Structure 1
């Protein structure tokens, strides 16, 4: 797939192709066929396919004689003819055919010189394959221009051929995407971003197939830390990881929340690139990777460097661990990529398996779960449907609750208009000028599973809560008045606050702002 990334912002469809541009053109037969068309007679022909060979074009024609017989012949020409074009031909000699009449392009539905915006409205993303590309004659001092025939692959015009003029040559055989700007105007869309999104989706599907919930590995670490037979270094790493996890009181402070998010594992790669060794030590993903490296059988020495461990993890992971991770597909249903929250996923124990092997499997599955959140963040970052820039941060934080660990899944989204994003004083602007969304999901005994969706815009907060247990929903609903008062005391303007029994509806049109259009208009 060739990327059309050197074109200007806009390319114009050819205003009008001459109705008889090929009239009098001689088509050269690849193989001489004397008597193909009787002297003084003509035959109708349809262009079946077009192929560019250097500066010439190879055409496959289907000839229909006056008596109805049909023949397919291959010819070459100096100008392209779109597939589906209708011709009237005569034969000058055994090697050549002459074009007597070419059907007017205005009446030829297969060749378009303008777009019908009633069938392909402005904003439609067209995809096509370049059939031919030809430099147009230019006068001295004029800019070079190229004419191409593009076969459309989607929309209601799929199968038709589009004649376009471009300031850059379009490689023959390349695939391109363009947004409809008008009946005679297109804007090409670089493919690199779309390819990146495709790669992210593929990696996300792979990671989600291998991931498992965090409590499994944390429970195993608790047992490991209390086992006197565990190696001192491995036990120290387990104790250090467990001690680094926040509790509910730490998350009641804004700085504690920021620190917990920073250490959740979603920013490990960014810390490594920035050379921040101080921020790596408490990072959850870094500590899990270190544990995996230390638990590897036959390791001569533990890999305390998380960078080295991350680079060598895939190569040195033993075969039994890889095969064990492959069993995850049979443990529970595979979640949809990009879904929030990630469902709980428990890893079944293998028979005749040692403690270190089980820890290795659980830790590797936990790393995959953290990677799933990070890839989901990338998948949901970019230009939204309304043209605004959307940035997403998705993470999972295990919170200590007595002797148990409760995973808190969080997703934050910031949406900015193009003007806000391009503002030179962006770092100095009030962050409340942007539209913020937050989603939380956790299972807190005895309240049961809870989900929160809220949005903050221009200092105005609105939110909805869902509790799977009916009694929990009633309890939260009775406390919403107190929550509103506390938010008002913090200086926020509070909109609608509601609590529902059940789970949030899923789908592209269930965002929280759909309920309060008047608040964000």
Structure 2
């Protein structure tokens, strides 16, 4: 380093209130600071070299503190927590659309049904989750990384995003709103975000909202038309036509409202999970929560996955990596499996819970396959057991520190 040189640094570790590890390029250096200017893990610093003596003196020119991130996280939680819900109901609707259940399909308006089917096309296939690459891709497209992928797209494909954001605002007619949605879908197909769950849920929400607005506009137009018509017989005939379609319209509107709530609550759940991944204080363990429907031929199953630092596990070497995964997957035909897997220095220990005897016997008879798959990944197996027990959401062990001490 030379005097006057400006460098960018990130605070990656905190030893004490005045001692930190900074990442500067490919180097990590230990730095001390005045306690009157506190630093936090994750702070982005712009520094200038003032002295080359031993030790080198650096002055902070700019500090992007995690406080801003923390406030943004709080705001996200305030908006999303009241609306969020699990994706069980959404998964059920997807399964029925996938199987073309007539009683369900006939109550879903055609443009919404079409968008549902496009969403189903983009869902991960269960068989692909058996390998590392397929699981990574599914997690990447689970929705929690959408904004990060958008930033990448801005850098690599700015023209496509510009066209997407500049689509003209559509009004009134279903043909124009459908055209706008089709254009947006066509543009996103060439982007990495095309298969993202949150992308497809947002597109589906957009289609539903436009459909609701079109229905409202049509109802207002019909009322005005009847009011302007003078003959009594015409008004009577119009009323009969309106009454004959009323039940169908009410069913469609009710179904649309219900679908809208399922979509909005699922988007909010993804946003809550995104907030969990944001580390804003020193003693907070990273946590990635993923919830996503997966395809199994025409069946749609629901996968829940939590990956977090396992602070409860014991290790002789405190520097060993200790991670845990909480897994829950509901199969439409055979029931629900929950599991907790922990990894300590490349050794995997796992407890699985099955909700019925048949499923429990099936798992126990195939534990050797699980052991083989783990060993193929370069890991060793410790204790792996399966017990028959139905767990509630509260019973499944997972880290939830990210939602503690949030002021709402």
TM-score, normalising length from structure 2?
0.52
Aligned: 1:392 with 2:287:
yes
Q: What CA distance in whole angstroms lies between the structure 1 residues aligned with 2:195 and 2:252? A: 24
Secondary structure at the counterpart of residue 438 of structure 1: strand
Aligned position for 2:177: none
TM-score, normalising length from structure 1?
0.42
Aligned: 1:362 with 2:362:
no
Q: What CA distance in whole angstroms lies between the structure 2 residues aligned with 1:458 and 1:378? A: 28
* Among 247, 253, 259, the residue aligned to 2:131: 253
Aligned position for 2:300: 405
Cα deviation, residue 406, structure 1:
0.9
Cα displacement string for residues 140-185 of structure 1 (whole angstroms, at most 9, x for unaligned residues): xxxxxxxxxxxxxxxxxxxxxxxxxx969xxxxxxxxxxxxxxxxx
Aligned: 1:297 with 2:297:
no
Cα displacement string for residues 214-251 of structure 1 (whole angstroms, at most 9, x for unaligned residues): 22441464459997999886555333222222322222
Classify 1:271/1:433 alpha carbon distance in 2 versus 1 (closer, same or farther; 3 Å).
Answer: farther
Secondary structure at the counterpart of residue 208 of structure 1: coil
Aligned: 1:269 with 2:147:
yes
Cα displacement string for residues 449-488 of structure 1 (whole angstroms, at most 9, x for unaligned residues): 1101102232111111011113322332233244224423
Cα displacement string for residues 333-374 of structure 1 (whole angstroms, at most 9, x for unaligned residues): xxxxxxxxxxxxxxxxx9963436524531442342243143
Classify 1:258/1:190 alpha carbon distance in 2 versus 1 (closer, same or farther; 3 Å).
Answer: closer
Contact 2:356 2:388 in 1 (8 A): yes
More helix, by proportion: 2
Secondary structure at the counterpart of residue 364 of structure 2: helix
Larger radius of gyration: 1
Q: Which runs of 5+ in 2 are unaligned?
A: 1-15, 19-34, 38-64, 155-187, 217-246, 312-318, 400-408
Classify 1:468/1:509 alpha carbon distance in 2 versus 1 (closer, same or farther; 3 Å).
Answer: closer
- The higher relative CO (CA closer than 8 Å, separation ≥ 6) is in 2
Secondary structure at the counterpart of residue 442 of structure 1: strand
* Among 300, 312, 328, the residue aligned to 1:441: 328
Q: What CA distance in whole angstroms lies between the structure 2 residues aligned with 1:508 and 1:404? A: 27
Contact 1:266 1:395 in 2 (8 A): yes
Cα deviation, residue 286, structure 1:
1.8
More strand, by proportion: 1
Q: Which runs of 5+ in 1 are unaligned?
A: 1-8, 12-165, 169-188, 301-315, 317-349, 417-431, 513-521
Cα deviation, residue 283, structure 1:
1.9
* Among 188, 191, 197, the residue aligned to 1:284: 197
Aligned position for 1:338: none
Aligned position for 1:207: 83
Aligned pair count? 267
Q: What CA distance in whole angstroms lies between the structure 2 residues aligned with 1:269 and 1:249? A: 27
Q: What CA distance in whole angstroms lies between the structure 2 residues aligned with 1:298 and 1:466? A: 43
Classify 1:511/1:392 alpha carbon distance in 2 versus 1 (closer, same or farther; 3 Å).
Answer: closer
Cα displacement string for residues 377-423 of structure 1 (whole angstroms, at most 9, x for unaligned residues): 42365378xx655222222221223432111112222579xxxxxxx
Aligned position for 2:363: 476
Classify 1:438/1:229 alpha carbon distance in 2 versus 1 (closer, same or farther; 3 Å).
Answer: closer
Q: What CA distance in whole angstroms lies between the structure 1 residues aligned with 2:17 and 2:367? A: 53
Q: What CA distance in whole angstroms lies between the structure 2 residues aligned with 1:240 and 1:224? A: 17
How is 1:302-317 mapped onto 2 (pairs within 5 angstroms)? none
Q: What CA distance in whole angstroms lies between the structure 2 residues aligned with 1:455 and 1:221? A: 37
Aligned position for 2:386: 499
Classify 1:370/1:436 alpha carbon distance in 2 versus 1 (closer, same or farther; 3 Å).
Answer: farther
Q: What CA distance in whole angstroms lies between the structure 1 residues aligned with 2:97 and 2:326? A: 29
